[in-house]
Structure 1
Amino acid sequence: MSTPEANIPARENFQQTIDGKRTDLFVLKNKNNLQAAITNYGGRLVGLWVPDKNGKLVDVVIGHDNVQTFAEGEDSYYGATVGRYANRIANGKFTLEGQGYRLATNNAPNHLHGGDKGFSRVVWEADQLSEQTLRLRYVSQGMEEGYPGGLTVMVVYTLTDNNELTIEYAATTDKTTVVNLTNHAYFNLNGEGSGSILNHVLQIKADQFTPIDATSIPTGELAPVAGTPFDFTQPTAIGERIEQEHEQLQHGQGYDHNFVLAEEPRQELAFAASALGDQSGILMEVFTQEPGVQLYTGNFMRGERTLKSGAKDARRTAFCLETQLFPDSPNKPHFPSAVLRTGETYKTATVYKFSVQK
């Protein structure tokens, strides 16, 4: 039986100079022929090829086939490493050790995913350590995007022989700051360009979520999911309740909410969520040390950009499970803390594990 081929974009499409630094495409591969393509522009996962129930390789992460389209998509976080603070900070303001800081309100009236540029639009130093591991490094200067402290960040992608994509994050600072890093992969487990994700079956191990106001900032409440469209404690199709008349669904124009996995970050990886592609039979399980996971159902995808497959990025043709601290934690003292001090190391990991259900 021949080995299925992954339709990986041409490397030269990613070899450019942006902000005086060279961009490139790096391919990881494990012994089972799982393959991942990553660019050091924004630390982005460009594609991820996983065998389906028939043994065919399916690209389960949406993205573009060249670096230029990523660079031109100002509001596109496809596959990106997001920071310094993933998700939203209310009104682009927070106070730390008695001093106020102002950030860009690039998702008016709030700050989103690190600001006007953030980590998703910089060129990372890249070092491919082996066929299965890529290490990325970025030094964020003090007051970059308005954040205090020079931050040295390391992100390591590993494709294990257990069919896991592991993402490990580490950061240190020279002044007290806030940090919340995540990966913003958009998944379609039936394959990029295969259509709606509403029939994917989702489970999230969360009894609570953080309700939001009309600008998508958490109210501060931890609300039970029971009896609401946010109850994914049992496997449920993403689209089963997405159109229900519920104020929270109206605020997010669908699901765009943080689910509470734990009260604080954990020492060990723990199961957070799973999703099953209804056509491919591909099961993705998510394990994390983070206390929250943001479910986003592609409500603001507009069909304006062409993906690797040639399809457009139409509304709700991909979903995200972004492991994270809670949104607006710097302004919510009762949320898990995002504060990082000198002498401390921010360290967290998330694993996406793939298998098939026939």
Structure 2
Amino acid sequence: MSLKLITLSNKQGMQIKLSNWGATWLSCLVPVEKVNREVLLGCYSLEQYQQQHAFLGATVGRYANRIANASIDIEGKHYKLIANEGKNQLHGGADGFDKRVWQVHSQSNQHVTFSLVSCDGDQGYPGELTVEVTYELTENNQVIISFKASTSQTTVVNLTNHAYFNLDGEESKDILNHTLQVNASQFLPVDKYGIPYENLVSVTKFDMDLRQAKRLSERLLDSPERQKTGGYDHAYLLDKTQPIAAQLTSSDNKVTMRVMTTKPALQVYTGNYLQHTPNRHNGEYNNFAGIALEAQFLPDSPHHNNWPQPNCWLKSDETYQHQTTYQFVVN
């Protein structure tokens, strides 16, 4: 199956580029004062996308984020998954969906649907999983990403997009002077490996409160939680009474990105380990070059059925269906 490059555009002059390699979001050009601003981190070539380890813009699965000890128990049976981050599994394993060539199922000027079949036992997961991911660019500068999946037997599913944003323009040094607001009153504390070590706690604990817009550089490494992970790399349980999950604003205040999602949680990752990742100018990014806002189930959810969120299990008679929208507003 050949690699394909697909461009979507709208009448406002906004343009995004996508590839069937990893169903990846490659580029996002937003017109700002008559100049197209590239707000998405990306590589110089598709070959570099295949070599980098930061999941730039990719669709990740079967299970986004971490599963402790790379194992799950389903209906009384123990499954050993492929570990790819020490003893844990990250983003679906060493050969996750981000490294697959997807089929282009359908496309138009403003949408594309990618499809993939993941075989029973893929990366250790039970069941044959059929997946579709649709990207749509609307006339009001929304990028809507819709996920759909069905399985032949009970499994776990947690799909997300791993785009990194820099609303100042991806050539700018970092995102530390961006401001971020996340409508969440609870978050998950994690150990240095990103594995939750206790239940959800108030965001007021460990200085993790983002309910009011906060500059990302503010006391960045003062919190013991952020010290462990080198910055923000934490899941927030979203307040679903609020239509907007998160709002990110560039340091020049010219671009705001709003995130809306049907998923229960948002992983906030400030690109703490992006150093040496190839950039789109044939150079390299540094740490904090971009921020990922990944809508998903809470990390390690298969081991925590008590958490207040929809469960992450998918049965053969069910359909997994979720949607995340990134809207770009030029101020």
Query: Of the candidates 169, 182, 189, which is equivalent to residue 211 of structure 1?
Result: 189
Q: How does 1:1-358 map to 2 (within 5 A)?
A: 21-52=1-32, 54-73=33-52, 75-226=53-204, 228-244=206-222, 246-262=223-239, 270-279=243-252, 281-302=254-275, 304-335=276-307, 336=309, 337-357=311-331
> Structure 1 residue 71: deviation in Å?
0.9
Contact 2:66 2:88 in 1 (8 A): yes
Query: 1:271 is paired with a residue of what secondary structure?
Result: coil
Query: 1:216 is paired with a residue of what secondary structure?
Result: coil
Q: Distance in 1 between matches of 2:170 and 2:232?
A: 20
Q: Distance in 2 between matches of 1:311 and 1:234?
A: 35
> Structure 1 residue 278: deviation in Å?
1.1
Gaps of 5+ in 1: 1-20
The TM-score with structure 1 as length reference comes to 0.89
Contact 1:167 1:351 in 2 (8 A): yes
Contact 2:65 2:91 in 1 (8 A): yes
Q: Distance in 1 between matches of 2:317 and 2:278?
A: 44
Contact 1:220 1:332 in 2 (8 A): no
Contact 1:192 1:309 in 2 (8 A): no
Q: Distance in 1 between matches of 2:208 and 2:2?
A: 43
> Structure 1 residue 208: deviation in Å?
0.7
Contact 1:193 1:312 in 2 (8 A): no
Q: Distance in 2 between matches of 1:307 and 1:314?
A: 10
Q: Write the deviation string for residues 11-60 of structure 1: whole angstroms up to 9, x where unpaired.
A: xxxxxxxxxx21111000011111000010001100100122x2321111
Contact 1:197 1:318 in 2 (8 A): yes
Identity %: 38
Q: Write the deviation string for residues 242-274 of structure 1: whole angstroms up to 9, x where unpaired.
A: 121x32112211110000105xxx7x9931000
Q: Distance in 2 between matches of 1:295 and 1:165?
A: 19
Q: Distance in 2 between matches of 1:282 and 1:87?
A: 28
Contact 1:229 1:242 in 2 (8 A): no
Q: Distance in 2 between matches of 1:180 and 1:243?
A: 29
Q: Which runs of 4+ in 1 moved over 4 A?
A: none
Q: Write the deviation string for residues 282-317 of structure 1: whole angstroms up to 9, x where unpaired.
A: 100000001000000010111x24311445211101
Gaps of 5+ in 2: none
Aligned pair count?
Answer: 329
> Structure 1 residue 104: deviation in Å?
1.6
Q: Write the deviation string for residues 211-253 of structure 1: whole angstroms up to 9, x where unpaired.
A: 1123211124111112543111001101112121x32112211
The TM-score with structure 2 as length reference comes to 0.96
Q: Distance in 2 between matches of 1:35 and 1:343?
A: 38
Q: Distance in 2 between matches of 1:317 and 1:110?
A: 26
Q: Distance in 2 between matches of 1:305 and 1:221?
A: 33
Q: Give the counterpart letter for 1:69 in structure 2.
A: Q
RMSD between aligned residues = 1.5
